[in-house]
Chain A
Amino acid sequence: MQARVKALETLLTEKGLIDPAAIDAIVETYETKVGPRNGAHVVARAWSDADFADWLKRDATAAISSLGYTGRQGEHMRAVFNTAETHNLVVCTLCSCYPWSVLGLPPVWYKAPAYRSRAVIDPRGVLAEFGLTLPEEKKVRVWDSTAELRYLVIPERPEGTEGIDEQTLADLVSRDAMIGTAVAGKPESAT
């Protein structure tokens, strides 16, 4: 594939159709500027600010955009909140729809057949492969991202985090917790 992609880039550059420096700029954006820390900021804000959490429930696109996270594959956002009763899990069975603007580029497993095929039929089995075993009575809600809506899971706020500042809270939120294949981490003092 390396030779094939190189040939394609050479051809398109020669034809004046692409600018290799633009490709560098795209790659740099997704390697250094847009990633799961954006989403973790959204979650930490939702945990610490009830008005923001409410806004996120009503209009996630606007609430998330107020923090500066907009753009490609995040044009239309929906936030889904984990509760004591329900755990949310996001998948795109048809391709790899994923909220780039808050989570960056998706990991390989998210785009691969094993996850896309099984998340809708055997979510607990999938979660177990991530080391997450949910209580039997907890409901599992799977969101198949079949349109241009992009989902962000807001994990439950861990116990023992009262009075912790937003930045420290954000450090407890992994990418996987915002897809639903993990839950939020516990603060070090509580482990």
Chain B
Amino acid sequence: MNGPHDLGGQMGFGPVAPEKDEPYFHAGWEKRALGITLSCGAFGAWTIDESRHARENIPPADYLAASYYEIWIRGIDKLLERHGFATHEELLSGRKLQDGAVPKRVLKADMVPAVLAKGGPCDRPVEAAPLFVVGETVRTKNFNPATHTRLPRYARARTGVVEAVQGSFVFPDDNAHGKGENPQWLYTVVFDGAEIWGEDADPTLTVSIDAWESYLEPA
């Protein structure tokens, strides 16, 4: 979706402000926000793609005004409610009012090292051969779905070159919406700066994205 998260090439956000010796967390609640998000992810009720979509659906003015872990908390609220783990009233009050959905698992402290070390690999085999080969010129599609996609706006309807076939992976555009993993081939596609940003682009610049097969067509 053309949400506030799709920031590539936007202007007006000012300079990057690196912080010397930045701590991992700037407030105690940020630690809890990270832990709550990962713990709820372990329920197995939603995918990383659905959680990304929950965050990018935050209205633009709210999204851009929120700190990063605040965006996470807004997203987790939405997912807990959608999947029946907590009602809107419970989330507002912070008190249990009724029983809710039962998760596949609850993350306990002794499970944490193994769960974090395992992660959630999302490579999946596909039977078909890749449609595109390394070195081939391709064009990204021009689409503007109201649903989740990982093709950034700046890289739509652009011509680039396939630099690598990275394997086959879960397709986020479907997986975010409960339509299954539907894995596809994934390609690294490289664009010249001028193809994306026009004639004033830095002449030495190239930008690449990782694009699922259905984002691409032969050029």
Contact = CB atoms under 8 A, between A and B. Distances in A.
A77 to B, nearest CB: 11
Interface of B: 5-11, 13-19, 22, 24-29, 31-36, 38-40, 43, 52, 55-56, 64, 67-70, 73, 76-77, 80, 85-86, 90-91, 93-96, 99-100, 103, 106-109, 111-113, 115-123, 150-152, 154-155, 166-167, 169-170, 172, 186, 196-197, 201-202, 204-212
A9 B36 contact: yes
A24 B35 contact: yes
Contacts of B64: 113
B169 A25 contact: no
B13 A95 contact: no
A15 B85 contact: yes
B32 A6 contact: yes
A113 to B, nearest CB: 4
Nearest to A96: B68
Contacts of A109: 16-19
A26 interface: yes
A5 B106 CA distance: 19
B94 A7 contact: yes
A139 B27 contact: no
Contacts of A124: 202
Contact of A17 (B106, B154, B209): B106
Contacts of A141: 206-208
Interface string A1-22: 1101111111110111111011
Contacts of B36: 5, 8-9, 12, 18, 23
A22 B109 contact: yes
A144 B38 contact: no
Given A25-B109, A26-B35, A26-B39, A114 B13 contact: yes
B16 A118 contact: yes
A66 to B, nearest CB: 14
Interface in A135-167: 136-149
Contacts of B52: 94-95
A70 B77 contact: no
Given A139-B206, A146-B151, A15 B13 contact: no
A178 to B, nearest CB: 14
A62 to B, nearest CB: 13
Contact of B85 (A2, A17, A129, A144): A17
Interface in A102-118: 104-105, 107-109, 111-118
A74 B119 contact: yes
A120 B116 contact: no
Interface stretch (A27-35, A38-46, A48-56, A183-191): A27-35
A22 B103 CA distance: 16
Counting chain A CB atoms within 10 Å of each CB, the highest count among B91, B103, B119 belongs to: B119
A140 B209 contact: no
